[in-house]
Structure 1
Amino acid sequence: MQDFVEIGENLVFLAMTIASVIALGVFLERILYYRKSMGKLNDQFLTEVRHALHEKPEVTWEAPLTHTSSYWRFVHFALRQIGMNRKGLDESLEGQIISEKIEFEKRLPILNTLGNNAPFIGLLGTVLGVIKAFYGLGTLGASGADVVMRSISTALLATAAGLGVAIPVVMANNYFSRKSKVILQNLEILKKEFIAFQMNKNKV
């Protein structure tokens, strides 16, 4: 049994290492993606679009530096729909928002899963370590106190590793979820203003 417990402990620490690498990879990929739709240039572009919708009878823009941002894609999609004078602008823009939402939430379930389960994996390592410690205590008796204490120390380290993975992962997931919510709310505002713009244009 002792051999199986030791194998289990090693697998737990291996799982923690793999989870850390995966979480770091997802975080870097997502931060690069989100940066395309965040920052001063994107906020400035959003302000210019809203101002033009309020003040100008016709709206066209050159592609700004942030041409890969969700705001740019949404604005140019809306302009194409209005330019073709298609019906159902509301539904078309809502579909575009959903498309952007899917992209923003891509891979976030990985962070959510790791954040929720890493502490339990660490706890499993702790349980295995405690089993190993009690087994050693029963086998070696009082003379094996050093071995028992080392086993308990390793067991607690597994819990610490689980929390060490889970805490930053949960923070990153919350950060991306908040940024996604803000960007999608701005797209909802743009949708309403484009619909109002089209209605006013049709009245003229």
Structure 2
Amino acid sequence: MQEFVEIGEELVFLAMTIASIVAFAVFLERLLYFRKTMGKINDEFLTQVRGSLHEKPEITWEAPLTHTSSYWRFVHFALRQIGLGRKGLDESLEGQILSEKLELEKRLPILNTLGNNAPFIGLLGTVLGVIKAFYGLGTLGASGADVVMRSISTALLATAAGLGVAIPVVMANNYFSRKAKVILQNLEILKKEFLAYQMNKTKV
């Protein structure tokens, strides 16, 4: 039994190491993705689009060729739909928003899963360590008190590692979820303004 407990401890720490690597990789990937969608350039682009929709009968601006943000994709899609004169613009734009939502929330479930389960994995490691410590106490008796205390100390490291992984992962997940929410709200605003633009253009 003792051998299985020791193997379990090693697997727990291995799982925590893998979880931290995966979480860091997802964090970097999402950080780079959101930097393409948010920032000064994207804010200026969004302001320019809204200004054109409000003040000009015809839209005369163009996005940079390297602009691949959610805003650019949505605006490009809306203009194409309007240019083709297709009906059901409201449903089409709503579908595009849902498509962007999938991209914005991509891989965030990984962070959510790791953030929720890392403390439990660490707790499992602590439980296994305590089992090992008490087994040693029963085998060695009072003479093995030092060994038992060291085993419990090592066991508590598993819980600390679990919290060490979970806390920054939850913070990162909340950060990206908030950014995604802001972008989607801006897309909803753009959707309403494009619908109003099409209506005014039809009247003219």
The TM-score by the shorter chain falls in which range?
A: over 0.9
- Paired AA for residue 68 in structure 1: T
Aligned residue pair count: 204
1:66 positional shift? 5.8
Residue in 2 aligned with 1:148?
148
Aligned residues with identical type, % of pairs: 88
Unmatched 5+ stretches in structure 2: none
Residue in 1 aligned with 2:25?
25
Report 1:64-103 matches (<5 A).
64=64, 67-103=67-103
1:151 positional shift? 0.6
TM-score (norm 1): 0.98
Report 1:1-204 matches (<5 A).
1-64=1-64, 67-204=67-204
Q: Contact conserved, 1:112 with 1:170, CA < 8 A, in 2?
A: yes
Unmatched 5+ stretches in structure 1: none
- The CA distance in 1 between the partners of 2:60 and 2:76, in whole Å, is 9
Residue aligned with 2:37, SS? coil
- The CA distance in 2 between the partners of 1:42 and 1:32, in whole Å, is 14
- The CA distance in 2 between the partners of 1:65 and 1:43, in whole Å, is 17
1:88-137 CA-partner distances (Å, limit 9, x unpaired): 00000000000000001111110000000000000000000000111111
- The CA distance in 2 between the partners of 1:107 and 1:22, in whole Å, is 11
After the TM superposition, which parts of structure 1 deviate over 3 Å for at least 4 consecutive aligned residues?
none
Residue aligned with 1:167, SS? helix
Question: What's the C-alpha RMSD, in Å, of the aligned pairs?
Answer: 0.9
- The CA distance in 1 between the partners of 2:110 and 2:35, in whole Å, is 20
Q: Contact conserved, 1:36 with 1:66, CA < 8 A, in 2?
A: no
- The CA distance in 2 between the partners of 1:70 and 1:125, in whole Å, is 42
